[in-house]
Amino acid sequence: MSFDPALKERFGTFLRAESARQAMGVTQKTLDSLAQHHCMLRVQTEDGIELYPELQYNESGSIEPRLTQILQTLLPVAADSWTVLYWLTTPLAPYGGRTPSELCKEGTAAEAQAMFVRAQRDAAAWKWLR
């Protein structure tokens, strides 16, 4: 499977289900449950392949807890999971071009909280658009 280089640059790498399970040390049932309950991000390609963006994992192989809060806010109201992935990888000028995913993983607690507030605001707007 190959992606357009611009997409790979924006999103980074993806894990297939088997690799995601191994990284987290969970079963397929648990992986599916995490995605269904919006505790992790899973996207699907046009040809039906389910992928897990690596940007959501922390160094220990778990889902970054600060991102989980954002995923649980955005995924229920987003058009699809790709919309949330674009949201997480949008460079933000007020933060020196860093993305919400970077700020949640590497930023201060205040920056991560600001991303959660931004997610709440955007989720409210997305609900209105539906």
pLDDT, tens digit, for every residue of 42-89? 999 999 999 999 999 998 889 999 999 999 999 999 999 999 999 999
Q: In the structure encoding, which two tokens stand for residue 92, read together?
A: 């933000």
Give the amino acid at 21.
Answer: R
| Of 54, 58, 72, the residue nearest 106 (C-alpha) | 58
Cα of first residue to Cα of last residue in the chain, in angstroms, is 33
* Residue 86: domain span: 5-129
Give pLDDT, residue 88: 98
Structural domains counted in the chain: 1
Q: pTM to 2 decimals?
A: 0.92
- The answer to whether the beta carbons of residues 67 and 75 sit under 8 Å apart is no
As a whole number, the mean pLDDT across the chain is 93
Query: In this predicted structure, what is the pLDDT of residue 3?
Result: 64
Confidence (pLDDT) at 9: 86
